[in-house]
Amino acid sequence: MSQPSKLMRGFATVGMWTLLSRILGFVRDVLIAGFLGAGPVAEAFLIAFSLPNMFRRFFAEGAFNMAFVPMFSKKVESGDDPLTFARDAFTGLGTLLIVFTLIAQIFMPALVLLMASGFAADDRLELATLFGRIAFPYILFISLAALLSGVLNSTGRFVAAAAAPVLLNVIFIAALGLSAVGCKCTPQELQVLTGTFLAWAVPVAGIAQLALVWWAASRAGYRLIPRMPRMTPELKRLAIIAAPAALAGGVVQVNLLVGRNVASWTEGAIAWVNYADRLYQLPLGVVAIAIGVVLLPELSRRLQADDAAGGQDAISRAGEVALALTVPCAVALMVIPSPLISVLFERGRFTAEDTAATALAVAIYGLGLPAFVLQKIFQPLYFAREDTKRPFYFALAAMVINVVVAVGLWAWLDYLAAALATSLAGWGMAWLLWRYSRGFGQAARFDDRFRARAPRIIAASFAMGGFLYGGHMLLAPMFDAGAWRYLALAILLIAGGGFYAVAGRLFGAFTPAELKSSLKR
């Protein structure tokens, strides 16, 4: 199989499992919205769950893994004892996170207030602290699982690492079901019980994910058994490379902190922003994260082999796939956010008022979706060269944009200032990554085919947006007719997808043969 085919097959594998995970994630969020709505228990749990996830991005998918994967990939390519290096990194990361988890347990109330200062004035602080202490050990398990996923991805094995997140959503859904079994309590007591079950589901899911990827890595010849930690020259180099990326990860988390703090002062806003975030994360996860996972080890190997033409082809095809799949999604999120949120979440304790508030945030996040995808394409260009300093500087610039917009516009836009700040900061970061990657030579430049097709993809997407707007107006009576809204949304999305496929063909953005080939891969 040719290298481009292997690359596209990797994208498809990760994307397929990520899609399944995101679908189950929607089922999970629909159930959480139905059980808890946008009330105080929902907000307390969402903040508690966001704490380990925030630091997970800092330690695992962020700083550590972005430094680890290129070094490990090059060792695999050269045959320079990658197993010992991986084992030392596994032990070092685990030791660091055990200490960090114990410290976090002590200072959990302060961490909660750091995330949501608006909780200080009510009972949400006590609930979020309890849920946070239960959920926080997840960071240890999921970060080690992320390292093992990096090992698997670097050796071309994508299935187990991509499938692991499915376990999280399955366990969450099971916890929601169990919380309602045989409970003879008041509605408020049931909500607290449900939140507690969800909190315990978080570390249980982390253990399950770690077990799956550890087993897969063992079968691949990388049986990582912890031993006494030691600081080797290679780990020192890993730490030196990871430090700027860690700082960059810290800057990204500051952006999240600012957004959640702004939202925490409006009752229900943390839940609204969270559900909106989940909706735009679907295409971001399926496409951008899949491409980022596959592209980083691929570019690292090509740099090791001094294959500039291959690197250019890899990033150009990744860019094509990303734009073709995410630009129409971004347009749809901006054009029809209300029917999407209504059909997905409006039931039980999630009201029509919650739908209206969440839809506004969805439309603003849609504006920034292509920027987040482009970041996932451009970042591997730096990390594959072990350049983590410049992404840190770019992240600082994005943080300034985020803080100025979120805080400066809060008095006028309320919680929507946080969503707008996130989107604008995303575009600032994407532009900086692209602008300064041009000095990397041929391997960092899009080829002629990409430059010809990108504007056509955008044109086809905007044409689809007009079709969706008109279709929504025609189907409006069905959206107001109870259960008929599910059929109406299905018709609208299927027809919109078909229209986009035809428009893309007419505009020369892609051909049926290419779509068929991609589906087969």
Same structural domain, 148 and 39? yes
pLDDT at 520 over 50: no
pLDDT category, 457, cuts 50, 70, 90?
Answer: very high
Q: Which domain holds residue 457?
A: 452-521
Same structural domain, 456 and 335? no
pLDDT category, 253, cuts 50, 70, 90?
Answer: low
Same structural domain, 29 and 46? yes
Tokens of 293: 């996972």
The last residue of one of the domains, among 417, 444, 471, is 444
Nearest to 340 by CA among 202, 472, 187, 190: 472
pLDDT at 140 over 50: yes
- For residues 252 and 231, what is the distance between their CA atoms, to the nearest angstrom? 28
pLDDT at residue 151, as a whole number: 84
In this predicted model, what pLDDT tens digit does every residue of 266-286 receive, in sequence order?
888 888 888 888 788 777 766
- For residues 185 and 53, what is the distance between their CA atoms, to the nearest angstrom? 31
pLDDT at residue 491, as a whole number: 94
- For residues 509 and 368, what is the distance between their CA atoms, to the nearest angstrom? 22
pLDDT at residue 519, as a whole number: 40
pLDDT at 403 over 70: yes
Same structural domain, 370 and 476? no
In this predicted model, what pLDDT tens digit does every residue of 240-251 receive, in sequence order?
777 666 666 556
Mean pLDDT to the nearest integer, 113-140: 89
pLDDT at 506 over 60: yes
pLDDT category, 448, cuts 50, 70, 90?
Answer: confident
Q: How many degrees, rounded to 5, is the angle at CA 175 between CA 169 and CA 179?
A: 150
pLDDT at residue 246, as a whole number: 63
Same structural domain, 341 and 248? yes
* Percentage with pLDDT > 70 across the chain: 85
pLDDT category, 468, cuts 50, 70, 90?
Answer: very high
- Name the 3-class secondary structure at 419: helix
pLDDT at 418 over 50: yes
The last residue of one of the domains, among 418, 444, 470, is 444
pLDDT category, 466, cuts 50, 70, 90?
Answer: very high
Same structural domain, 397 and 480? no
Average pLDDT, the chain: 82
pLDDT category, 107, cuts 50, 70, 90?
Answer: very high
Same structural domain, 375 and 472? no
Mean pLDDT to the nearest integer, 336-344: 91
pLDDT at residue 297, as a whole number: 65
Mean pLDDT to the nearest integer, 244-259: 65
Mean pLDDT to the nearest integer, 161-184: 83
pLDDT at 178 over 50: yes
pLDDT at residue 13, as a whole number: 60
Same structural domain, 416 and 460? no
Residue with the bigger pLDDT between 69 and 92: it is: 92
In this predicted model, what pLDDT tens digit does every residue of 181-223 receive, in sequence order?
766 777 778 888 899 999 999 999 999 999 999 998 888 888 8
pLDDT at residue 392, as a whole number: 80
Same structural domain, 129 and 153? yes
Q: What is the CA radius of gyration of the chain?
A: 22
Residue with the bigger pLDDT between 37 and 420: it is: 420
Q: The dihedral of CA 283, 135, 44, 111: what is its sign?
A: negative
Same structural domain, 315 and 216? yes
First to last CA, the chain: 11
Same structural domain, 251 and 314? yes
The last residue of one of the domains, among 404, 427, 444, is 444
pLDDT at residue 447, as a whole number: 82
Mean pLDDT to the nearest integer, 391-407: 88
Same structural domain, 507 and 385? no
- The number of folded domains in the chain is 2
Say which residues have a Cβ less than 8 Å from residue 405's Cβ, sequence separation at least 6: 417, 420, 421, 424, 425
Q: How many degrees, rounded to 5, is the angle at CA 411 between CA 368 and CA 111?
A: 70
